[in-house]
Amino acid sequence: MTAIRVGHLYPDYLNIYADRGNIAVLARRAALRGNELRVDALGMKDAVVPGEHDLYYIGGGQDREQFLVAENLAAKAAPLVEAVTAGGAALLAVCGGYQLLGRGYRGFHGEDMPGVGLLPLETVARERRMIGDVLLECELEPGVRRTLAGFENHAGRTYLDADAEPLGRVVAGFGNDGTSGYEGCRLGRAVGTYLHGPLLPRNPWLADWLLAQALAHRAGGEPAELEPVDDALELLAHDVSAERARTRGGR
Ligand code: GLN
């Protein structure tokens, strides 16, 4: 049995749309493979120590909550960037958390929030919110195409640097900025996305991808394929969500 160590950043502030459900999915899917997920809350007073966690998780929030944590998070930038880039820890950032992992976010009322500077992007909120179901096509491993279904609700427009790798191509919905045709950002074992809902219950392949990356961080070496589990219900949820995105996404 391997203990997969998760650092959950600001669970008391960033948990809109039950984003915490993503952690429940990771815990369950780790247990089904005989492993254990150990989750530490990393709040205002806690330090990020490279090497202590195999996977970092940060959820979404309203501008108000983001503003409350932004400076504290930016002060943890150096160890967090080191843990993910040099250290090879995995990371999942959702919506408000995704925005704060870039260089910065200017909120709806013009408030400037510093970012971590891990992901090569920046975000500015504009008048019209981008709300609805989303469907993406992703290729995290060359030649392996998968779809990701979820829900987005953001005023922020996220602009990726020219050399940044998006998480996926928008099949239906708005995505990063409503015009680029791309959603999210991927940097090695780190993934940022606007998809809530929560994201992982209806996209089990991404949960397993993250677990495999976290296990590789723990054990060293390359990520190994996880044993398949019965995903019949999860795939049904994915298909319902995908169909909603195709018929009503991006309005
Ligand atoms: N407050 C941010 C925005 O509106 C993020 C919202 C969210 O996490 N759903 O863009």
Cα of 102 vs centre of ligand 1, distance in Å, is: 14
Q: How confident is the model at residue 49 (pLDDT cuts 50, 70, 90)?
A: very high
Write the residue with the smallest CA distance to atom 3 of ligand 1: 154
Q: Does residue 89 carry a pLDDT above 70? A: yes
- What is the best residue among 15, 19, 20, 66 to mutate for testing ligand 1's pocket, by most ligand atoms within 8 Å of CB? 66
DSSP 221: S
pLDDT at 19 over 80: no
Q: What is the mean pLDDT of residues 16-22?
A: 82
The DSSP line for 78-132 is HHHHHHHTTT--EEEEETHHHHHHSSEEE-TTS-EEE----SSEEEEEEEEEEEE
Q: Residues 140-162: what's their mean pLDDT?
A: 97
Q: What mean pLDDT comes out for the span 228-237? A: 97
Give me the chain's average pLDDT, please.
Answer: 96
Work out the percent of the chain whose per-residue pLDDT is above 70. Answer: 100
Percent share of the chain, pLDDT over 90: 94
pLDDT exceeds cutoff 80 at 151 = yes
pLDDT of residue 248: 87
For ligand 1, atom 5: residue with the closest CA: 96
Using the predicted structure, report yes or no on whether residue 223 has a pLDDT greater than 80.
yes
Q: Residues 93, 80: contact at Cβ < 8 Å? A: no
Higher pLDDT among residues 20 and 49, named by residue: 49
Res 250: pLDDT: 77
141: pLDDT strictly greater than 80? yes
Place of tokens 């427009």: 157
Q: Which amino acid is at 133?
A: D
152-201 per-position pLDDT tens digit: 999 999 999 999 999 999 999 999 999 999 999 999 999 999 998 789 99
Report whether residue 95 contacts ligand 1, using a CB cutoff of 6 Å.
Answer: yes
Q: Is 115 in the pocket of ligand 1 (CB under 6 A)?
A: no
Q: What pLDDT does 17 receive?
A: 74
Please report which confidence band the pLDDT of residue 251 belongs to, taking 50, 70 and 90 as the band edges. Answer: low
The pLDDT of residue 234: 97
Query: What is the Å distance from ligand 1's center to 204 Cα?
Result: 24
- Cα 184 from Cα 182, distance rounded (Å): 7
Least confident range of 7-21, 37-51, 96-110: 7-21
Which ligand 1 atom is nearest residue 97's CA?
8
Q: Burial of 59 by CB count in 10 Å (0-12 exposed, 13-18 middle, 19+ buried)?
A: buried
Pocket probe for ligand 1: among 95, 106, 111, the residue whose CB has the most ligand atoms within 8 Å is: 95
